[in-house]
Structure formats: structure tokens, C-alpha cells
Structure 1
Amino acid sequence: MSSNSRGGSILCTGSTMGLLGDLVPSAYTISKAAVIGVVRAAAAELGTKGVRVNAISPHIAAASFDKRVLQQIFPRATSQQLNEMICSNYSMIAKPVSLEDVANAAVYLASDDSKGVNGHNLVLNGDNKLKL
């Protein structure tokens, strides 16, 4: 782009729950599905102006935030049970997505290395057992 051109990259946070619709309350699933739809619509509208719009949709990340959310959904679950939910076959990943994985995806999508990527929902699903 020339120095007079405007452009940029907008990143939104989706979730695999917006694609799968299980484990979490329906309001969360609906809101994350909406994020993915907004990304596609905004990418089409803003792409002609040089602005790329993409989403990052991690599966359950091994973070305290996810444990707190799961604790609210399953108030009687022990800490060990919550850990098992995050790392079990139910979550369909052998190794949970880390916060570093999400950060690396954001750096990639915001960089010029991804200049040809627009309207994409980058699913972070650990070892790729989760097929979406």
C-alpha cells in the first residue's frame, strides 16, 4: 500500500463453542457464532478499503478464566474435575490450547505475513482432533 493509503487489521475473539454449541450455555454459543458472522460481513465491507477482519477461535484454553466459567456452569465440580473437563477426550484435544498459542495467532493475523487472509476464522484446536 502507498503511504497515503489506509489499511489495517481487526481481530475478533470467537470460540469453537460458536461452531459446536456444547458444554457452555446457549447465550455464550450464540454470541460467539455471531462474532464469526460479523467477521465475515465486516471483512467483505472493509476489505475494499484495505482493512482485514479475522477471528481467532480457540477451543478451551487452560486458563483460570476458563476454569471460572466452567465452575459457574458446574458449581459442584471440584478443581480436579474441572481440569479433567478441560483436558479430557470430551474437549477433543490432547493438549489444551495455551494463551501463548492464542497470542501467536494474533501476532500472525495482525502482521503482513497474513496480508492475504481476510474474513477467516482461525480455529485453534490443540492437536487437530477437533474437526470443524
Structure 2
Amino acid sequence: MTGGGSGIGLATASRFAVEGASVYIVGRDESKLTQACQQLLDSRGVKVTPLTGDISDPASMAAAAAVVNDRETGVDVVINNAGLASPSTPADDDDFITDLRDRLSIDVIGTAVTTAAFVPFLRRGGSVLNMGSVYATTAAAGTASYSAAKSAIIGLTRTLAVELGPRGIRVNCVSPGWVDVPKWDDYFDEPTLRHLRGDFTRVPLRAAVTADEIAALYAFLAHEDAAAISGQDIVVDRGMSADLYVAQTVPGLA
């Protein structure tokens, strides 16, 4: 999997390893990957293997895929979890086009590059899982480049599901809402964190999604119990996108 060094990726690597899978996390920062693997060994007692690879470089990812195939004699699951971590740039910002190009290059092209590298080694019954976002199908001011990239990933997911289906390979997308990740502790003060984690009034279930909950969905979609699910974008946002949240903002109706 890509993007396994922290947050959702690290939680997912842990979940799969605990369930007995041979897990490889691929990324450019070897030191960060090694640290993440050691953290999982210390905290969960599971072994995860770091593997250097750059999702923007087809040759680099092809080499990483070949290593995994040689060691495991095939691949069962590919998780495209990596993405540009910086905040999205509003469409009226001078840097918007640059930001859009960067996001399409990392999020979309990176997903395609990784998938293309690993698909030749995927066994029948295998699964490709992509990281989308609730903002692919909804909108918020300032998220144009992010939304565009995630929308493209959903389109890519559906097309790959059609193309790879005859080989018995399923392709799905997981689209989270607001996810509680470690970097939140650096971004938000304590009152804000308490609100997001236990009284998130904008969300019907009143809390942000956890990284472990995303990992659980990845694990389900990779399992044979999900054998009939392919070409889908599955939203996990505790009900956020189901509520237009309009009436609550109108004086006298709240």
C-alpha cells in the first residue's frame, strides 16, 4: 500500500497485518516508513515491510511491485492511499492552477501509476482499493483542486473495475468525511478537538470518522465477503453528506 506511514495508512497497515496479511508500505521517505514499521512492531507486535518507491515514477513503482511479487509470488490487494497532504487552494487564488496540477499528478496519476505497476501481479480474486473523499461528490469553498482530483479517482475506479473485472479483480473507492488523524492534535486546540471527537453537531452521528474505521472498511472490501462489490464509491462520513444542513441555519427553524 502507498501512504502507509501515518494516519489512515498506518491504521490500515496495522489492521491487515493483525489479520495475518503480509503488508508492504511503499513511499519515498525510507526513514519515515522504517519508523512506522517499528511503531507497529512495538505497539501491535506485527511485522510490516517498508519499501522505497515513488508513485510519480512508473519505473520506481514497477521495481517495487516486482520486489513484492518475487517475495510473495503474487499480490492480493493494492491500496492507493497516498495523496497530497497540503491544504487545497481556492479557485480564485493565483496558485490555483499550480495546485490543481500538483494534485492531479500526485493523487490521480499516482493512483494510476501504482495500479498499473501492481496489476500484472494481482491474483484472480484480488482487489484494488483507492482513496477518494466525500468532497468528490459534494462541495465546499476552497476545495476545488482537491475535489477535482478525488472526482477523477472515482472515475478511474469505475473504469478499472470494468476493465479488470473479467480477470476476477475488484476495484473500489473509499471516500471518507472528516477523519480524526494524529495531525489534528497540531492543528486544533483542545475545545475544538473535543467538539470534533464527541459533539460534532454538523454530523448526524456527532463525531468525526476514525482512521481505524477507514481501515475496517478497507479490510472488508478486500475480503471474500465483499466478492460481489466492485466499481463502487463507498462514503464513510458518519452521515455528514446525507444532511444538507440548511434548515438548522435558518433563524426560527433551528
TM bin (shorter chain): 0.7 to 0.9
Q: Tell which has more relative contact order, 1 or 2 (C-alpha 8 A, sep 6+).
A: 1
Q: What is the DSSP-based 3-state SS (H/G/I as helix, E as strand, rest coil) of the residue aligned with 1:35?
A: helix
Equivalent residue number for residue 120 of structure 1 = 232
Alignment correspondent of 1:13: 131
Q: Which amino acid aligns with 2:241?
A: L
Query: How far did 1:125 drift?
Result: 1.4
CA-based RMSD: 2.6
Distance in 2 between the 1:106 and 1:24 partners? 28
Point out the structure with max Rg over C-alpha: 2
Query: Which runs of 5 or more structure 2 residues have no equivalent in the other structure?
Result: 1-122, 244-254
Q: Letter of the aligned partner of 2:209 in structure 1?
A: V
Number of equivalenced pairs = 119
Structure 1 residue runs of 4 or more that deviate by more than 6 Å after TM superposition: none
1:122 counterpart letter in structure 2: I
Alignment of 1:1-132 (within 5 A): 6-22=124-140, 24-65=142-183, 79-80=189-190, 83=193, 84=195, 88-90=200-202, 93-126=205-238, 128-131=239-242
Cα displacement (A) at 1:80: 4.9
Unaligned 5+ segments in structure 1 are 72-77
**Structure 1 residues 12 and 67, CA, compared in 2 at 3 Å: closer, same or farther?**
farther
> Mean alpha-carbon deviation: is it higher for 19-28 or for 81-90?
81-90
The corresponding residue for 2:28 is none
Measured after TM superposition, the shift of residue 89 of structure 1 is 3.3
Percent of matched pairs sharing the same residue: 25
Counterpart in the other structure of 2:80:
none
Cα distance per residue 1:71-91 (max 9 Å; x no partner)? 5xxxxxx63575457864345
Structure-1 separation of matches of 2:153 and 2:178: 17
How much does 1:114 deviate? 0.1
Normalized against structure 1, the TM-score is what?
A: 0.75
Paired residue secondary structure (1:46): helix
